[in-house]
Every structure is written in C-alpha cells, then in structure tokens.
Amino acid sequence: MKKVKIIIVVMAIFCFTLPASAQKALKLDVNYNYSIPLSGFKSDLVSNGSPRGFKAGLMYSFTDRLDGGLSFGFQDYYQKYPRTIYKLSKTQQISAVLSNSIQTTPVILKAKYFLTPNTFVKPYISLGAGANVVDFKQYFGEFPSSQTNVGFLAEGGVGVMIPFKKTASSGINIGSTYDYAPYKKNGYKDLNSVNFQAGVVIELR
C-alpha cells in the first residue's frame, strides 16, 4: 500500500504542474479490474483469477480522438497448492503445502485512440508501456521467501466509453486489456494476464 500512496502523490504533482489551459481537458479514469493469469503465470504460479484489483489514470485529451497520460494499477494474486514433495535442490526435498502470493503495481504511459469520436458510444483501442513492481511471496509450509523486483510491462486494450450525456467527457468505461509482463526470476517465465475493467471517466475542472 505504501507504493500505491507514493504513486498517487506523483500523479497529483503531475496534474498540478500541467499548464492551466490543459487542466480543463484532464480526465480521471477509475476502474475495477478482474485479472486472469495466462501462459507461464497460470501454469507455474497462480491459476486462480484475481478479483482484487483496480486500474486508474490521468488522461489528457490531445484531440477528440486521442487521449494520453499516466496509468497505474494494483492486483493481488493468490494460489494455495495441496501438500506434495517439492525438490529444492539436487540433494534436498521437502514435503509441504505451497502457497504463492503475488502483488503487481504497474505504472505505465498510456494512449487511448477513439475509433468513432462523434458517436454516443465511443469504442477505443489503447496501448501502454512502463514499469511493473512485483512483490512475490512463496511459502513452503511455514517457511516463507520473498522478493520485490521491477520489470517491464506492455499493455494493449479495447473498450467503449459511454458518456453520461451526449456532449459529456465523463461517463462509464467498459474494457479489456492484455498485459505482457516478463518475469525471469527463479526459473519462472512471465506474469502475463488478460484483464476486464468496468468503471467511470471523470472530467477534471
């Protein structure tokens, strides 16, 4: 949670240091996020979907089609496996219940392109890239190990924005993203996931 608070402070500073003329075009995106692990993430670490997450961002409307800005999120993954024998090294084995607890905090630069900006329902595509802070805790029974790393994350998405009224910049957001997140630690491959969002877009004045 400390990392999330630091990111919020950084975003607030970013907001207030923009030129006054740009403040009127700023929009705050706040979304609930449900995440489903994919590929190596699902097979090696966590197969359960995670309902514990959100994505948010400060976006500036450069044109009626293009928004850009800073986005961040938080997701909490957890998986507990039944007791079995795990090989720790060539000469050491342990019989234990294995638990994986992973928290990710991505911070990315993001662009959103509206395909039909003059319609009431506004479909869009999005792209983003930046850093991914990963807190990984693994428990073999009562014996924990933990590490924190910063890696790369790229995001691609699709969605629709439905304004509260025809000419409004505020409205409801529904979308989905694919997160590409390499994670080359302890023999693991990645933390890739597909995500589903629902939330609101609020124009800041």
Place of tokens 């699902």: 42
Paired with 57 in beta bridges are 29, 71
What digits encode the pLDDT tens for the residues 12-57?
Answer: 454 444 444 434 579 999 999 999 999 999 999 999 999 999 999 9
How confident is the model over 111-160, as pLDDT tens digits?
999 999 888 899 999 999 999 999 999 887 667 788 999 999 999 999 99
Q: Helix, strand, coil proportions of the chain in percent (round to 5)?
A: 10, 65, 25
Which positions ≥6 away from 39 have C-beta within 8 Å? 189, 190, 192
Between CA 104 and CA 84 the distance in angstroms is 27
Q: Do 95 and 85 contact (CB within 8 A), yes or no?
A: yes
Q: Name, in order, each residue with C-beta under 8 angstroms of 38's C-beta and a sequence gap of 6 or more.
A: 192, 193, 194
Least confident of 53-62, 76-85, 158-167: 76-85
Note whether 155 and 193 are within 8 A (CB): no
Kind and range of the H or E element at 112? strand 93-114
Q: For the chain, list the domains and their CATH numbers.
A: 2-76+105-134+152-180+187-203 (2.40.160.20)
Backbone angles phi, psi at 147, to 5 degrees: -155, 150
Instruction: Name the pTM for this structure.
Output: 0.81
